[in-house]
Amino acid sequence: MAPEQLEGREVSAQSDIYALGFIFYEMFTGMPAHRADSVAESLELCRGSDSVTNPSQLVTDIDPAVERAILRCLQADPKLRPASARRWLPSFTPAVRKTLPCDSARLGANTSYYLPVTCSSTSM
């Protein structure tokens, strides 16, 4: 949950962007960006962008562009986050396309319609 939402302030598209970053952080690192036992603790962790461990410290081969895109979403200040997913996606998708190994034949012919990424030719 975005810091502004935890504080009971107005939420916006940037609040959803924060959640998107949180999800992608966990997808790429296998760990949540924050672990908290209470709302107060969660809020304290969310307020400081330095409280998030850089993904490259957990996953050494993460593409730097992917890391930057994820960390932009997790900024404590909503004004520092991307304005929309549509504006954020171009910074994220090319890097994921380079690093995502999978068998695209298994995903079906319309993969690019359903997924914002295309798999490399390397099989899993």
Q: Which residue has the higher pLDDT, 81 or 121?
A: 81
Asked if the structure places residue 121 within a domain, the reply is no
Q: By C-alpha distance, which of 65, 76, 63 is closest to 22?
A: 76
The domain that contains 86 carries what CATH number?
A: 1.10.510.10
Tens-digit pLDDT profile for residues 25-61? 888 888 888 776 666 666 666 665 557 889 999 888 8
Domain region containing 103: 3-114
Question: For the whole model, what pTM was predicted?
Answer: 0.70
Considering its fold, how many domains does the chain have in total? 1
* Per-range mean pLDDT, top range of 32-36, 39-43, 97-101, 112-116: 32-36
Asked if the structure places residue 124 within a domain, the reply is no
What distance in Å separates the CA atoms of residue 41 and residue 34, rounded to the nearest whole number? 10
Asked if the structure places residue 85 within a domain, the reply is yes
Asked if the structure places residue 119 within a domain, the reply is no
